[in-house]
Structure 1
Amino acid sequence: MAGDVVHYIQDLSVILATAAVTSMLSQRLNQPPVLGYVLAGVLIGPYVPGIEVARDSGLLTHDLSEFGVIMLMFSIGLEFNLRKIARIGPAAGLTALFEVALMMTLGFGCARLFGWDRIQSLFVAACISSSSTMIAAKAFEEHRQRADFVDLAFAILVFDDMLTILVFALLTAVASGSGVSAGDFAWSVGQLIAFLLALLALGLLVIPRFIRRAAAHERPETLLIASVAVCFIMTSLAAAAGYSIALGAFVAGMLVSESGEGHKLEPHVLPLRNIFGAVFFVSVGMQSDPLEIGAQWPLVLALTAVVLVGKIVGVSTGAFLTGNGLTNAVRAGLGCAQNGEFSFIIAAFAIAAGILDKSMFPVVVGVSLLTQISTPMLVRRSERVADALQRWSPGRLQTFVDFYESWIEQLRTAPRTVTVWSRVRRSVILLVLDAALLLVSAAGSSLIHWDVVKFFADRFHLPPSLVDVVWVTLSLVVVGLFFLGVLRHLRAVARTLARIVVPAHADDGPDLGAAPRRALTVALEVALSLAVSGPLVAIAQPFVPLSTILLVLGLIALVLLYDGWRSLANLQGHVHAGTELIVAMLAKQSHEGGDVDEDRSLPGARDLLPGFPDLAPLRLDPGDFAIGRTLADLQLRQRSGATVMAIHRHSTPDTSPAPYAPLAQGDVLALAGTPEAIARARQILERG
């Protein structure tokens, strides 16, 4: 027995030493240490000659890697609590919801093209749907990124982790190996929700108090032991209920965090997570055959392309539409474009359950390795990519981008007397209800389709093809009615929100805010369509043909794009006329000899220019950093989010400031944007 222990220790020393060396090499090449751990496993594993460990030591490593999963998910859960979720707000949650739904849709479609059945395709999609907080954090740290987009990316990754855990828990419940029906799906969803509610309700009553009592002794080891005990108990309950140990560990971390002692516990959990996490990634590498990765290179490259394109587009689009600005949205999207630890967990479960073949695991590892390598490069070039995208965007789109962030900020900071929720509550409830009924009717029709055809064909001696056509027609009519209801309520919500930001004209005069209100309405319709259609498509894929879904979404997209392009043209005309008015206001101030009041917006601008963002003048005084430099040199829009709408220079108005014309002393710039963006722009113009 003692000899066995020594044997295990010797093999573990080889494993950890190899992991340490490859991790250092990986970091030396500006890559995350996770890449080094996986490569260590590949080198030690049975598929590469050289360093070898005994088979029983390999099994021990695999068992220890389960502790890595538990500690990794527990530490992620410690970063959550209900207060933090409320503080992060709905914007990051909506972005993550759209991104995960888009990845599930793209992954499902790609897997179907490669010949997998529906349940297998769902697991393949789940394998590539999650991002890696660990890899993204390391990339941001290596490149010393501390900008606003980093906080945005982490907020999105937090919700991405939550949604991935829910998707994984749901898939473990509905997995049958032969497909999934609407009834099984609904029953599994109900069971999962009931289990989570029971676990959270009982846990909130007991665990926070227990952890606070342990912390009251002011001994770190007591707090650590109590917390790990809670983690193992919750993990055991999840496993006994038929769910993943990852779900139980995550819920345990979240409940411990509710005690308010999570910040004391994290430094003590971190070493355990690092050690067992390293063993987990080494175990992943040991199960990966490099030759198998090479043999399946078309699938590896296809899924890698889906990850990179889907995550960049999904996160960037969602983050922009929730009001985070184009630059921050694009940079966050580039920082979240990778696969990591969840991919291995989901793939290992699917293989153990007999859903996916063992050959799928090297594919998942290959996709993860490629995206881990690409993440630092994408983060490093993210600012240049965002700048290029803004620079080469059409003029109409640039105008809209300049205004949209300010509109969403006005919606967020609307006075409490406006009661935004009370004005959209009825439409939102009806929207959710119609969306749920649409999904139920589509799934139900698919579930009983052939039973209905057989019953009526046998009962009334009708041709099955005729019954089939009639049933499909009736189903389309019912689904179409609910679909029209979704569109109607969606448009009602968008119009109501747009009227809050740009109120309609009260008297009989011209409605000066019509153009910006229409542009905002279309943008909100797009945002709400993505928020609603993403989850609907992801859930409906097992029951509705993907071609039908894509056809409907394509038609909606064409209508919205056409309507949006027209509204952007009207907005650009509105902005051009408004800019001339701004120049006239600046000229009037200069002619009257008054000083430029930089502490407040241009007088009367809000009434005369409805829909415009906050406007504030700034005079360039002697010694200001911007004198002699061009707007292109300063990169004011990219760095601050504010836009120079007009410049007044020695009685010479400029309604279209040239990006390469040097700024001069005495120039008065009209800055547009949110108050925070204008403050940042002032600092750049005055101090650099």
Structure 2
Amino acid sequence: MHSSAVFLIEFGCLILGLGLLGRLAGRFSFSPIPLYLLAGLAFGEGGLLPLVASEDFVAIGAEIGVILLLLMLGLEYTATDLVSNLKTHYPAGVVDAVLNALPGAVLALLLGWGPVAAVVLAGVTWVSSSGVIAKVLGELGRLGNRETPAILSILVLEDLSMAVYLPIVTALLAGVGLAAGAVTLAIALGVATLVLVLAVRYGRHVSRFVSSDDPEKLLLVVLGVTLVVAGLAQQLQVSAAVGAFLVGIALSGEVAEGATSLLAPLRDLFAAVFFVFFGLHTDPASIPPVLLPALALAAVTTATKIATGYWAARRAGIGPKGRWRAGGTLVARGEFSIVIAGLAVTAGIEPSLGPLATAYVLILVLLGPLTARYTEPVATALTGRLRRRNATSRGRTAPDPPDSHETIDDQDIVGRT
């Protein structure tokens, strides 16, 4: 009885604290992710007040949080959208992967962490935060901008790539051999392909089976199916997160909309618990030694993400201002980076990887909204100054010519209602 009371008090204080931190983040219009990570650091090993009674429950809640994050991500897309994006925008996805995964892999190898850690850190630096970016686009009023589809296409391709990447990482962390790893990847690709085909051809029937006019029944069926599929996927070494993502893709129409509204509060609760759990397993004293590498990695991958967005928007025919806005918007890292790093922390492959990932995400989840807002005006000002300097060096002065590539469609007001 005493331990039960301690658990309730301890876990209740944790949830209350997360609620207050989320309210604080909302007041200042920034993502609560860094505050949740800091809360985990405060209550974990070496923190101010380590959790004892509720640690096991927090671990289970964190796993459910990852599953719900990926389920909700899958619900945002239809299989047709994913196939269309894959066919149309795959070059941007390749550029994104090369420019942003490579710095993480190189740093891990330079630090002597080995190839498995290199693959993990490559994923941490590769994937942008869909949640933070969607929030920033809405707050800045850019959802109707011409560059926004280019941004979203990169995010969709990153999410789809996770269906392949996560099983690879899971197999590597499990220490399976080359043959077993190849089998795991083949299973993952086969399952993903099968789900996409079924969703495209029979998505209505799947949604009809799950559908219910009673919100309670719909919630229970969707959540139950997701947990069962996630568990089966984990048994096959495919990754529970991928299983949840594929369930989300298979559902469409009114079922997806209804499930999204019902599951959103649960997702937010357990996602917050997940970020805290990651912080719990990171000793605050281990962060200062990796702070400089994290800062260097953040600087490099900020530049590479801006380059990625610029290139993708240029390829889509967007003017220079929209290209800079697209690049600056993609900088933020968040939930996926922590999910990937969390797999490595649980497997215990490299003690410093968790602290480095924590510091890296803290930096970029705070920097991301700033680059989204200020990359374009700073780049425009620097470009104008360079033009004036070039004109002066040629012995003439002239006002800045109008940007011949910029069209009215590229302005902030386009597409707003």
Please give the range of the TM-score, normalised by the shorter of the 2 chains: 0.7 to 0.9
> Which residue does the alignment assign to 1:246?
241
> Which residue does the alignment assign to 2:393?
none
Cα pair distance change 1:316/1:389, threshold 3 Å = farther
Task: Render the CA deviation track for 1:145-173: whole Å, top value 9, x for unaligned.
Answer: 44333343233212212213421222223
Compute the displacement of 1:57 (Å): 0.6
Cα pair distance change 1:294/1:29, threshold 3 Å = farther
Cα pair distance change 1:89/1:186, threshold 3 Å = closer
Corresponding position: 1:360 with 2:357: no
Compute the displacement of 1:137 (Å): 2.1
Compute the displacement of 1:224 (Å): 1.8
> Which residue does the alignment assign to 2:216?
221
Corresponding position: 1:130 with 2:127: yes
> Which residue does the alignment assign to 2:230?
235
Q: Which piece of structure 1 moves more, 242-251 or 145-154?
A: 145-154
For the 8 Å contact 2:44–2:280, the answer to whether it is kept is: yes
TM-score (ref. length: structure 1): 0.54
Compute the displacement of 1:185 (Å): 6.5
> Which residue does the alignment assign to 1:370?
363
Corresponding position: 1:275 with 2:269: yes
Cα pair distance change 1:343/1:4, threshold 3 Å = same
Aligned-partner Cα distance in 1 for 2:53–2:387:
62
Task: Render the CA deviation track for 1:271-290: whole Å, top value 9, x for unaligned.
Answer: 11111111111222222222
TM-score (ref. length: structure 2): 0.85
Compute the displacement of 1:385 (Å): 3.1
Q: Secondary structure at the match of 2:46?
A: coil
* Equivalent position amino acid for 1:262 in 2: A
Corresponding position: 1:95 with 2:92: yes
Q: Which of 343, 346, 353 matches 2:340?
A: 346
If you compute each CA radius of gyration, which structure gives the higher value, 1 or 2? 1
Q: Secondary structure at the match of 2:287?
A: helix
> Which residue does the alignment assign to 2:392?
none
> Which residue does the alignment assign to 1:388?
381
Compute the displacement of 1:90 (Å): 4.3
The 5 Å alignment of 1:124-523 reads: 124-146=121-143, 147-175=145-173, 177=175, 188-200=184-196, 208-215=204-211, 217-257=212-252, 261-354=255-348, 356-388=349-381, 391=384
Q: Which of 60, 70, 73 matches 2:70?
A: 73
Structure 2 stretches lacking a partner, 5+ long: 389-397
Question: How many percent of aligned residue pairs carry the same amino acid?
Answer: 25
> Which residue does the alignment assign to 1:474?
none
The 5 Å alignment of 1:553-568 reads: none
Aligned-partner Cα distance in 2 for 1:311–1:252:
29
Cα pair distance change 1:318/1:207, threshold 3 Å = closer
Aligned-partner Cα distance in 2 for 1:207–1:225:
20
Cα pair distance change 1:204/1:232, threshold 3 Å = farther
The 5 Å alignment of 1:526-605 reads: none
Q: Secondary structure at the match of 2:147?
A: helix
Aligned-partner Cα distance in 2 for 1:233–1:393:
59
> Which residue does the alignment assign to 1:46?
45
Q: Which piece of structure 1 moves more, 186-195 or 78-87?
A: 186-195
Task: Render the CA deviation track for 1:430-481: whole Å, top value 9, x for unaligned.
Answer: xxxxxxxxxxxxxxxxxxxxxxxxxxxxxxxxxxxxxxxxxxxxxxxxxxxx
Aligned-partner Cα distance in 2 for 1:209–1:141:
33
Corresponding position: 1:641 with 2:407: yes
Aligned-partner Cα distance in 2 for 1:24–1:327:
34
The 5 Å alignment of 1:83-122 reads: 83-86=80-83, 88=85, 90-122=87-119
> Which residue does the alignment assign to 2:391?
none
Cα pair distance change 1:318/1:110, threshold 3 Å = farther
Q: Secondary structure at the match of 1:243?
A: coil
Aligned-partner Cα distance in 1 for 2:81–2:110:
40
For the 8 Å contact 1:68–1:277, the answer to whether it is kept is: yes
* Equivalent position amino acid for 2:147 in 1: F
Q: Secondary structure at the match of 2:119?
A: helix
For the 8 Å contact 1:211–1:223, the answer to whether it is kept is: no
> Which residue does the alignment assign to 1:20?
19
